Chain A
Amino acid sequence: MNVELKGIGNSSKSAISMRHMTKKRLLGKIAGKTVMWCILLFFLFYTLFPMIWLVISSFKTNVELFDNPFSLPKVWQFQNYKNAFQVSGLAVLFRNSIVISLCATAFNLFVASMAGFVLARQRFKLREAIFVLLISGILIPVNALMVPYYKIITQIKLYDSIFALILTYGAMGLPISVFLVRGFMKTIPWELEESATIDGCNFYQRFFKIILPLSKTGLITAGTFQFLLSWNEFIYAMLLTSSTSSRTIQLGIRYFSNQFTTDYTSMYAAIVISIIPSLTGYVLFQEQIISGLTSGAVKG
């Protein structure tokens, strides 16, 4: 812009006034930019500050934390992280959470992909009605269903087992997964399936050999959401299990304050450790999560 201005030069009055105008506009632009960055940086600070503070605190001694919450640790206390593992039984919590989340995701995707295939690519009566019914579940606040979920799980004798959570989580995420998977499967060209039919592929072969492999992106998106739901869920983990052997990481965090009592900084280390897997997963699957949110996915 400046270069252009120079080019116009000081040759005439109008050019001068124009230059004056643009200068004003330029100032306005700078002011606008400044305000914009203040706002953007505020949100950045608000998001990052508590996390960074927690991480730094987790390397301090408790005396240091009480002395000055903002000081850096004199000696970085890696011992806290060792304590965290020993006191909280993080290994078991992680193992349970990983097994439950992976199984719930596999189970959920299996059911959702079959339903999604039929709802996206077969013509039959009631198709739209069934689809709308299934995805209406997205908007049901499932926390209202604590009593029935508890009763169902005890009735089928799954109480206090990891299967209770695998089944419940897989079911809770089913509406959104059906929605995502069906949406993705609809975008696969019909010609592919038609030519496969001509080549003699039956219904099941078309599903397993053609549609399912081509839906990989959609399945990864739905799977990421399902995994996060299972990993982060708390209420039903608390209601449907009782023993430490089937406890998930989220439920474990709740007991940290009992386990660590006054060793706050080791507790923070445990919390930091518990956050790392989901943040890593996010960084790895960021594209899927964002595209899942934005492909009209959650336009529920």
Chain B
Amino acid sequence: MNKAMKNNLGIILFLTPALVIFFVFFVYPVFFVASTSLVRWDGITDITFVGVNNYISLFKDGTFIKSVTNNLKWSMSGGFIHVPMAMFVALLLSSKPKGWKILRTIYFFPNIISIIALSMMWMAMYNNEYGAVNALLRAVGLEHLQRNWLGDLHTAFPALIAYWIFYIGYFMVIILAEISTIPESYYEAASIDGANRIQQTIYITLPMLKGIMGTCITLSMVSGLKQFEQVFIMTNGGPANRTTLLALYLYKQMINYRYGLANAAGVMLLTFGVIVIFTIKKIFSTNKIEQVG
């Protein structure tokens, strides 16, 4: 009795800090964002309830719509180009060619460097006058393709996506580890039945990767929704709002003291997150938060 009571006290004592922090930084903010998305709040005049007016303003705002479609493109590129590419490279590396560990290490580099530093680096790469991209085009005789990549209406957004989409290290490492957990005996049995490597990949490896692919696509798409730094540093949403994203839109509303509108955008951001999670979960039905051990 006494001992059990002591344990209960310990449990409460040990859980309280985590729960308090979680409520202050996750639960309360989500409710805060949701409830204040229904008010007019500029930091000066009184807060007034305006119902769904903020949402109506959002959907009438071309910049917001552009942010949503851009975010959609960004997330889709992440989930359906970036992750499959990572899977493909993981499949190649799973045959353990010479130096695969070094390749794995180097592919992971961009995930260690801050997005801010990477953005500055790619701004230099894309620079009109001395950037490496234009210099590279000159070097291979494609002078006519040179342009101000981030200033051009047509290339600014693709250029932003192009820079991270080939940085496959993060998901490659996760998928590669999953491949290594597939029992060797499956492949042995298949090769006795006469299946070659490609057939083994299609009929054994790929089906076994369904769960992890769902997870990776979800992670990639949700992180696509969060993106801010690249556009903030490299284009600030321009030219002509071509590269605006939801988080940037939210930020711009906030620093202009349109808190209600900012939070309505925040709610949309959270909603898209939930939609992504449930859609992908449905498609890759095995995906759930797994517990280690």
Residues of A within 8 A of B (CB): 33, 36-37, 39-40, 43-44, 46-51, 53-54, 57, 65-66, 68-70, 110-112, 114-115, 117-119, 122, 124, 130, 132-135, 137, 139-152, 168, 170-172, 174-175, 178-180, 182-184, 186-187, 202-204, 207, 228, 231-232, 234-235, 250, 253-254, 256-257, 264, 267-268, 271, 274-275, 278-279, 281-283, 286, 289-290, 293-300
Contact = CB atoms under 8 A, between A and B. Distances in A.
25 contacts: A33-B97, A40-B93, A47-B107, A48-B109, A68-B135, A69-B135, A114-B17, A118-B10, A144-B267, A146-B250, A148-B33, A152-B24, A180-B292, A184-B293, A207-B14, A228-B112, A250-B116, A254-B233, A275-B114, A279-B112, A290-B108, A296-B292, A299-B212, A300-B215, A300-B219
Contacts of A130: 15, 19
A275 B125 contact: no
Complex A-B, nearest 8 residue pairs according to Cβ-Cβ distance, in ascending order: A183-B292, A294-B177, A115-B18, A148-B29, A186-B293, A171-B25, A232-B114, A203-B10
B262 interface: yes
B61 interface: no
Contact of A47 (B6, B8, B106, B129): B106
Contacts of A168: 25
A246 B293 CA distance: 41
Contacts of A254: 116, 233
A43 B168 contact: yes
Interface residues of B, number: 93
Interface in B26-63: 26, 28-30, 32-33, 36
Nearest to B178: A294
Given A46-B166, A143-B228, A144-B269, A118 B14 contact: yes
Contacts of B215: 298-300
Given A124-B11, A296-B292, A145 B117 contact: no
Contact of A282 (B25, B95, B108): B108
Interface of B: 6-8, 10-11, 13-15, 17-19, 21-22, 24-26, 28-30, 32-33, 36, 88-89, 92-93, 95, 97, 103-110, 112-117, 120-122, 124-125, 129-132, 134-135, 139, 166-170, 173-174, 176-178, 212, 215, 218-219, 222, 225-226, 228-229, 233, 247, 250-251, 254, 259, 262-263, 265-267, 269-270, 273, 277, 289-293
Nearest to B270: A144
B218 to A, nearest CB: 8
Contacts of A174: 18, 21-22, 25
Nearest to B176: A294
A134 B259 CA distance: 27
A117 B173 contact: no
Please classify the interface of chain B as helix (H, G, I), strand (E, B), loop, or mixed, using the class held by over half of its residues: helix
A289 B226 CA distance: 22
B17 A183 contact: no
A270 to B, nearest CB: 9
Given A111-B18, A146-B251, A146-B266, A299 B290 contact: yes
Contacts of A178: 18
A39 B92 contact: yes
Contacts of B174: 293-294, 298
